A and B are shown apart, each in its own frame.
Chain A
Amino acid sequence: MRVAGSAAFCARLLRRQLVLGLRRPVEIGNPLLFFAMVIALFPLGLGPAPDTLAAFAPGILWIVALLSNLLTSEGVFRSDFEDGSLEQLLLAPQPLYLSVLAYVLAQWLLTGFLLGLLSPLFALMLGLETGAIPALASSLLLGTAVLSLVGGIGAALTVGLRRGGMLISLLILPFYMPVLIFGSGAVQAALAGAPAGPYLALLGAMLCLAVALAPFAIAAGLRISVDA
């Protein structure tokens, strides 16, 4: 039997994950719905005064994006772990680094990417100034990719555990904090009229670091979880 090349294998893996996701559109909609509902909680909790909401909008949008990413990260490897296909993937001759990257990319495309595209809508609902919206969308697009990669590490380490849900948040949130700082920093800079570029550049640097290193940690985590 001919062994598929690494690139072709990854492309097929990515396609499989995306098809699996698209077959269940409700599951794609859930994180977005979660995002919308949690955002709706803030005007109820903080009071509907437009000034307060607009001032808090960058932080609110970023924190809610972070939480919805946390909730979806947990399930990246779950079903493949349960039906044993993850074990097959570990035995495959193709490098695990690339296959893991395909999983994370698929997860990001179905959550963070969509969230980034829809964020201007929610930003307008919270009364964020239109000038800051490009900074918000681009910081979310860059930042959620980092979040997905880091979340993948937590998902890989906890996939074999029965009660992984609470644990993954404890493990991963400390690593989300730097992303949150620079992500909401970009939006706040844009609000203040300063260039958001430096913050976006730092998020880009974090993304490069995460793409280079996180798949190794995810692969190591998956090997440990499958051993268990």
Chain B
Amino acid sequence: MWSLFHKFGSPPWLYRLSGSILRWLLPITVIALVAGAVWGVLFTPPDFRQGNSYRIIYIHVPAAVVALAGYYVMAIAGAVSLIWRMKMADVAMRACAPIGAALTFIALVTGSIWGKPTWGTWWVWDARITSMLILFFLYLGVVALYEAYENKELAAKACAVLSLVGTVNIPIIYKSVDWWYSLHQPASIKFTGGTTIDPSMLYPLLLMIVAFYALFTCALLLNMRAEILQREQRTAWVRRLAAAGESD
């Protein structure tokens, strides 16, 4: 257990491991994204009330789900780096923030595009939408704080504290649709109790959610690899890598 823990702290080991993970995860992600999108857009029945406009759900819901989960990944990585001083956890935390911000942005934009035909407005100040906007600001705050520090080790510590403080907001965002019932509908997919979505629409949606998780992992690993190379640019193993011109 501890030897594995130490290995995770080693940049060259993590770099090689992420390379071999990406070699099979990247094609799987692309296949799942294409398959899910084609299945959702072409082979599902139209909604009886919303017609075809509901199909944006196949981007909106996965992006929102993974945006929230990404915050947890960032906060847990931050906690690991604060408690065990693990440098690779810093790298993971820093890599999470822009990806999470991008996914939150996608969720907000697709929600707004979906809102126009169904609710008749681009934007409402509803609890779920406002709290997703706050999540977007939280992610950007982490990026801004990290960039403000000259010393990147301290920057990572400060960001870890900030992201842990931010976890207070995440359960509120997650439960906001159930607590304040307004324009945004409550969650349709539940692990316990009845799911209020037809299986013919549910399965492609689940596939897309899995695909978005895989996409998040790929983006995270790619970001981390770039950050590792930049941090370790003066070490022998990176020089050797650069000299060999290898890509993985």
Contacts and interface: CB of A to CB of B under 8 A. Distances in A.
10 contacts: A153-B162, A161-B148, A170-B137, A174-B141, A175-B165, A224-B154, A224-B157, A224-B158, A228-B151, A228-B154
Interface residues of B, number: 24
A227 B154 contact: yes
Contact of A171 (B145, B150, B169): B145
B169 A175 contact: yes
Nearest to B157: A224
B84 to A, nearest CB: 15
B161 A157 contact: yes
Q: Which 5 A-B pairs have the closest CB atoms?
A: A174-B137, A171-B141, A174-B134, A224-B157, A220-B161
Interface of B: 82, 130, 134, 137-138, 140-141, 144-145, 148-151, 154, 157-158, 161-162, 164-166, 168-169, 172
A167 B148 contact: yes
A157 B144 contact: no
B125 to A, nearest CB: 10
Given A174-B169, A178-B172, A228-B149, 10 more contacts: A157-B145, A157-B162, A170-B137, A170-B144, A175-B165, A175-B168, A175-B169, A209-B168, A221-B161, A228-B154
A157 B134 CA distance: 20
A164 B148 CA distance: 8
A63 B143 CA distance: 26
Nearest to A164: B148
Interface string A212-228: 01000100110011011
Contacts of B158: 157, 221, 224-225
A161 B145 CA distance: 10
A170 B154 contact: no
Contacts of A224: 154, 157-158, 161
Interface string A139-168: 000000000000001000110010110010
